[in-house]
Chains A and B, each alone.
Chain A
Amino acid sequence: MPSASATKLRFHIVTGKGGTGKTTVAAALAMALAAGGGRVLLTEVEGRQGIAQLFDTPPLPYEERKVASAPGGGDVVALAIDPEAALLEYLDMFYNLRAAGRVLTKLGAIDFATTIAPGVRDVLLTGKIKEAVDRKNKQGRPVFDAVVLDAPPTGRITRFLNVTADVASLARMGPIKNQSESVQRVVRSPTTAVHLVTLLEEMPVQETVDGVRELQAEGIPVGSVIVNMKRQPYALPKRLVKKDIAADLVAAGITGGRAVVDGLAAEAAAYRARIEIEAREQARLDQLGLPVVTLPLQPGHLDLGALYALAESLGEQGFPPARVRP
């Protein structure tokens, strides 16, 4: 990655409906961003250890760790942000309160603050990410060229990013309030974008359309829609001549006769039905007027090789965009 300029997207927030592959896309995006010598932080906040599983490493502690090298040099560093650890770190950093933190843990106060007190958990998580986005080295240059967040799913993303609203109703002043406001500035910065991962299926597309509307209504910058697992194109005519197929199969050395021909024809019909749905849903996405990036279905196991292929595919489509659209 060439040096970061002020107009470059630095914070990529990847959301999507459950099951659309947002963790995979976030990882591929981190690789694409690190390609050619960058240093990119890939973070997750939901305690699922999805990054570790994807890169086939042991569960990530609350600590930045390199998980992959990007093509052409460059590092992908991963961090699983744990709200309790983030709160204790925060108390220690600002109040020198490590010992009190232990008392609070025993009392259930930490558990309360991170799981039940509305908004506080999200402020802690986004606050930690903001720190990584803003972190500078001794030369005053950003430590990370980009930060990619494997964010909560579409249904919860606006609330997650819009922490101020929740917290403002509770904390009218004090550090939590200040923290949430500085997070808001980063989330709404022109160098930040939320990308929505979807499949070309009705429910994920509906959630994407709703999600884009919600995010835009809150003034949170939306980047691209990323269509995942799109079917490969196959040149198949509407009508199949079974006699010819049977003859071809014999020539190709495939036995089984009529049953195989009928089975293949049934698969072709199912494929066509799916392609029709994909085209219809694609049209709905196009109406959003957002850039759309497409990743092909990876039929086999999703290993590191498949991730590199996805990262390459993103790069070929000029994604992530180098510059912010006006």
Chain B
Amino acid sequence: MRDFDVDALLGSAKVVVCCGSGGVGKTTTAAALAIRAAENGRRTVVLTIDPARRLAQAMGLTELDNTPRPVEGVDGSLDAMMLDMKRTFDEIVEAHADPERAQQILSNPFYLSLSSSFAGTQEYMAMEKLGQLVAEKRWDLIIVDTPPTRSALDFLDAPKRLGTFLDGRLIKILLAPAKAGGRAYLKVLNTALSAATRVVAKVIGAQLLTDLQQFVASLEAMFGGFRARADATYAMLKAPGTAFVVVAAPEPAALREASYFADRLTAENMPLAGLVVNRVHETAVSDLGVARAVTGAETLEADRGGAVTAALLRLHAERATVAEREKALVGRFRRSHPETPVRQVPALESDVHDLAALRQIGAALARG
């Protein structure tokens, strides 16, 4: 069983990516790691995607303005920001196109939907923003939260998918009418392919196809290969100094996602620093098992005395049952991934909404 040396990670990494399925406390983990790193003396920035309101308030994040701002009350240098997906996309357009063309793109209905939809764009823009933060060279450590996707894997695949689409064969076919006379395209435009275009027109409507063609034409002129950008993003995630922290809760679905993600990172040669299991339940009397507590409660209940103690034992039995179930689930992950360090963070009895609670989680992350 390997120990997860979180402080060593925070001391040496340049980029830490927190990923995991929705509802496991990913953003909280990212924030807690960032505060700890900053208070350990590293100039740190944390990029959050969609923080819960109270957590955002705890970090002093009151506006979604895409700009890192100092977090008050941290004994060190910590900046925090919330990703504004649409603005990030708009900025790329504005930076790469002349004003007239930029305006054309920004007002295209297809662009409006694409830039504010959740299907892939958010993941892509998170990575785009990460790239920008790295390029600024203002921080020793960048901690990134990842979007609340249905599964952790989406985050790895979405940028590539978007890149493949925007740079792919479909686009070339869609563009073909706009480039009549382009000999290369005439060659590929065989019967099957033009039939395909007709199908697209039939299913989505001719107007939509025209909008799409215009949109793609203006994007293509602007980018010179979206795929190259997606590849650069991918390369950045593999670069030395980047580490992934997989976050899970002690529940079957979350740990299964964590397993898939760990395997995927290994397959892609991406550095998996470790697994964080949040909200683990423990008992305060570790050597009193479920069976003994229940038997004890039954004995007292039969005597019709000691009702309070019986209730205490019933309560303990419930907690011990939860603890044993969670231990079995985490144990399964450990056995299937013996090389992955695991850190369990105990469940707090109250909700997290200030820096003190985040510090407490940071300490639990570091010491276990």
| Chain A residues with a Cβ under 8 A of chain B | 17-20, 23, 46-48, 50, 53, 91, 95, 97, 100, 103-104, 107-109, 111-113, 115-121, 152-153, 155-156, 159, 166, 169-177, 201-203, 206-207, 232, 234-237, 240, 244-245, 248-249, 251-254, 256, 259-260, 262-268, 270-271, 273-274, 277, 297, 299-302
Q: Which of B63-88 contact A (CB under 8 A)?
A: none
Within 8 Å by CB of B256, from A53, A274, A301, lies: A53
Q: Cβ of B170 < 8 Å from any Cβ of A?
A: yes
Interface residue ranges, B against A (CB under 8 Å): 21-24, 50, 52-54, 109-110, 112-114, 116-120, 148, 150-151, 158, 161-162, 164-165, 168-170, 173, 192-193, 195-196, 199-200, 202-208, 211, 249, 251-254, 256, 283-285, 287-288, 292-293, 295-297, 299-300, 303, 305-316, 318-319, 321-322, 325, 328, 349-351, 353
Nearest Cβ on chain A to B155's Cβ, whole angstroms: 13
CB-based nearest B residue for A87: B203
Q: From A17, which residue of chain B is reached at the shortest CB distance?
A: B23
The complex places the Cα of A127 from the Cα of B114 at a distance, in Å, of 21
Question: Closest Cβ of chain B: how far from A122's Cβ, in Å?
Answer: 9
Chain A residues with CB below 8 A from B313, complex form:
252, 254, 264
Q: Contacts of B50 on A, CB cut-off 8 Å?
A: 155
In the complex, are the beta carbons of A173 and B306 less than 8 A apart?
A: no
| B118 nearest CB across to chain A (Å) | 7
* Docked-complex contact A18 and B24, CB < 8 angstroms: yes
Question: Can you show 9 pairs from A to B with CB atoms below 8 A apart?
Answer: A100-B199, A107-B196, A152-B150, A153-B148, A170-B113, A174-B203, A201-B351, A260-B285, A263-B288
Q: Are B196 and A267 interface neighbours, CB within 8 A?
A: no
Query: 18 other contacts beyond A236-B311, A299-B318, with CB at 8 A cut-off?
Result: A53-B253, A100-B199, A104-B200, A107-B196, A108-B170, A118-B116, A119-B113, A171-B208, A174-B203, A207-B52, A234-B311, A235-B308, A240-B308, A244-B306, A249-B296, A254-B313, A256-B285, A267-B319
Instruction: Say yes or no: A175 contacts B53, CB within 8 Å.
Output: no
Q: Is B205 a contact of A263 with CB atoms below 8 Å?
A: no
User: How far, in Å, is A185 (CB) from chain B's closest CB?
Assistant: 20
Distance in angstroms between the alpha carbons of A111 and B169 in the assembled complex = 12
Tell me the complex Cα distance, A91–B198, Å.
13
Q: Which of B21, B193, B203, B311 contacts A235 (CB 8 A)?
A: B311
Residues from chain A with a CB closer than 8 A to the CB of B325 are 299-301
Chain B residues with CB under 8 A of A95 = 199, 202-203
Chain A residues with CB under 8 Å of B23's CB are: 17-20, 153
Contacts of B162 in A (CB 8 A): 116
Measured CB to CB, the closest approach of chain B to A236, in angstroms, equals 5
Nearest CB of A to B109, in Å? 5
In the complex, which residues of chain B have a beta carbon less than 8 angstroms from the beta carbon of A267?
Answer: 283-285, 312, 315-316, 319
A260: chain B residues at CB < 8 Å are: 285, 288
For the complex, what is the distance from the CA of A271 to the CA of B206, rounded to whole Å? 62
Measured between beta carbons, the chain A residues less than 8 angstroms from B287 are: 256
Determine the chain A residues whose CB is within 8 A of the CB of B203 once the complex forms.
91, 95, 174-176
Would B296 and A252 count as touching, CB distance under 8 A?
A: yes
**Nearest CB of A to B221, in Å:** 19
Q: Which of A48, A253, A274 contacts B253 (CB 8 A)?
A: A48
Knowing A109-B196, A116-B114, A245-B308 are in contact, say whether A173-B207 is a contact too (CB < 8 A). yes
Instruction: List the 6 closest A-B pairs by CB distance, nearest first.
Output: A18-B23, A19-B23, A18-B22, A174-B205, A263-B285, A248-B309
How many A-B Cβ pairs are below 8 Å? 235
- SS class, residues of chain B in contact with chain A: helix
Cα A120 to Cα B303 with chains together (Å)? 66
> B165 is contacted by which of A53, A108, A252, A302 (Cβ under 8 Å)?
A108
When chains A and B are docked, how far (Å) is the Cα of A266 from the Cα of B118? 44
- Identify which of B148, B293, B315, B351 contacts A203 (C-beta below 8 A): B351
CB distance B316 to A277 under 8 Å?
Answer: no
Contact yes or no, A103 B285, CB < 8 A: no
Return the contact of B251 from the options A19, A91, A170 (Cβ within 8 A): A19
Measured between beta carbons, the chain B residues less than 8 angstroms from A251 are 299-300, 303, 305-306
Given A18-B148, A171-B204, A248-B309, A166:B318 Cβ within 8 A: no
Would B284 and A264 count as touching, CB distance under 8 A? yes
In the assembled complex, the CB of B309 is this many whole angstroms from the nearest CB of chain A, namely 4
Report whether B306 and A50 are in contact in the complex, using a CB–CB cutoff of 8 Å: no
Taking a contact as CB atoms under 8 Å apart, the answer to whether B312 and A47 are in contact is no
Which of A121, A177, A245 has a CB less than 8 Å from the CB of B312? A245
Establish whether residues A169 and B283, one from each chain, have CB atoms under 8 Å apart when the complex forms.
no
Contact A169 B321 (CB under 8 A): no
Q: Across the interface, name the chain B residue whose C-beta is closest to A122.
A: B119
> A232 and B285: CB pair below 8 A?
no
CB pair B318–A232 under 8 Å, yes or no, is yes
> Which residues of A are found within 8 Å of B316, using beta-carbon distances?
263-264, 267
CA gap between A268 and B117 in the complex, in Å: 46
Closest B residue, CB atoms, query A173? B205
Enumerate chain A residues within 8 angstroms of B114, measured Cβ to Cβ: 116, 118
Q: Report the Cα distance A253→B306, complex, angstroms.
A: 13
**Is B315 in contact with A244, judged by CB distance below 8 angstroms?**
no
Chain B residues positioned under 8 Å from A17 (CB to CB):
22-23
A254 vs B313: C-alpha distance in the bound complex, in angstroms? 10
Whether the Cβ atoms of A108 and B168 lie closer than 8 Å is yes
Q: Given that A115-B120, A234-B311, A248-B300 are known contacts, is A100 also in contact with B205, CB under 8 Å in the complex?
A: no
The answer to whether B296 and A109 have CB atoms under 8 Å apart is no
Give the shortest distance, in Å, between A187 (CB) and chain B (any CB): 19
How far apart sit A47 and B314, CA to CA, in the bound complex (Å)? 39
- The answer to whether A237 touches B196, judged by C-beta atoms less than 8 angstroms apart, is no
Write out the residue numbers on chain A whose beta carbons fall within 8 Å of the beta carbon of B22.
Answer: 17-19, 153
Are A100 and B196 in contact, with the CB atoms below 8 A? Answer: yes
A201 to B, closest residue via Cβ: B351
> Would A254 and B322 be within 8 Å (CB), given that A19-B24, A100-B196 are in contact?
no
- CB pair B200–A248 under 8 Å, yes or no, is no
